[in-house]
Copies of this chain bind each other. A is one copy, B any other.
Amino acid sequence: MQLSLVEENYLKTIYHLAEHSDSDISTTAISEELDTKPASVTDMLRKLSDKDVINYQKYRGVQVSDKGKKLALQIIRKHRLWEVFLVQKLGFNWYEVHEVAEQLEHIKSPLLIKRLDNFLGKPTVDPHGDPIPDENGEYKEVPLCALSELETGNEGNVIKVPDSDPSLLRHLDKIKMKLGSKILVKDKVEFDDTVLIQIDDRNEIYISGKIASTIMCSSI
């Protein structure tokens, strides 16, 4: 069984939405994520359900099936391996890779991925800190907490940042925040959740609550 490029994108989107939610995924949520109309999503859900990659009941939302999870993880694996390639071998910045990897992830050649993986030294995380599933779709889950959750006076290391927003990633470059950076929370502003932090023992800097909530740290 083969999925079309469009089907792959739907599946991946549903998988990612399901990752960050424990309830069923709604038609509207998918349509917003993919910038399509809910009616189009309904059509596609029937198709994906026929192919057994999702469990779908009218009006009840969807879950990704076991079969769908395997497929989704292979697409994600490809996406993240290509991102590593772009950054480590071609010198891309971490804010330049997402869009290109969105195209490269659909290339169909198991041999290519196997050899790319070897060429890259079997990396386990992509340039944004996201784990790379192995050939069986497995990867290690690391317990993380958002920077915004750290208490004043506490420290953490940056483990993962959002991958798809170039403007945020450029900002992180500007303030020299990288994967692995040590973050010390110096103060929190209750009014709007602004956080005052120190990155790698350098100058103090304010970041918005919105940014702070997207930076994932090791919880020590």
Residues of A in contact with B (beta carbons under 8 Å apart): 86, 89-92, 96, 99-100, 103-104, 107-109, 111-112, 115-116, 118-119
> Of B100, B103, B107, B119, which contacts A89 at CB under 8 A?
B119
Copies of chain A in the complex = 2
**Closest CB pairs A-B (n = 6):** A90-B115, A100-B109, A103-B107, A90-B119, A100-B112, A89-B119
Shortest CB-to-CB span from A88 to chain B, Å, is 11
Q: Is the CB of B115 within 8 A of A91?
A: yes
Q: Contacts of A108 on B, CB cut-off 8 Å?
A: 103
Contact residues of A: prevailing secondary structure: helix
Q: Contacts of A104 on B, CB cut-off 8 Å?
A: 107
A92-B111, A100-B111 known; 6 other A-B pairs, CB under 8 Å?
A: A86-B112, A89-B89, A89-B119, A96-B111, A100-B107, A103-B108
Q: Contacts of A107 on B, CB cut-off 8 Å?
A: 100, 103-104
Q: Is the CB of A116 within 8 A of B103?
A: no
Closest to A108 in B: B103
Closest to A111 in B: B96
Q: Contacts of A100 on B, CB cut-off 8 Å?
A: 107, 109, 111-112
Shortest CB-to-CB span from A7 to chain B, Å, is 16
Measured CA separation A116–B89 after assembly (Å): 9
Shortest CB-to-CB span from A81 to chain B, Å, is 12
Shortest CB-to-CB span from A101 to chain B, Å, is 10
Shortest CB-to-CB span from A165 to chain B, Å, is 18
> Of B86, B89, B99, B115, which contacts A92 at CB under 8 A?
B115
Closest to A114 in B: B90
Known: A96-B111, A111-B96. A90 touches B103 (CB 8 A): no
Shortest CB-to-CB span from A126 to chain B, Å, is 17
Measured CA separation A104–B109 after assembly (Å): 11
Measured CA separation A108–B99 after assembly (Å): 10
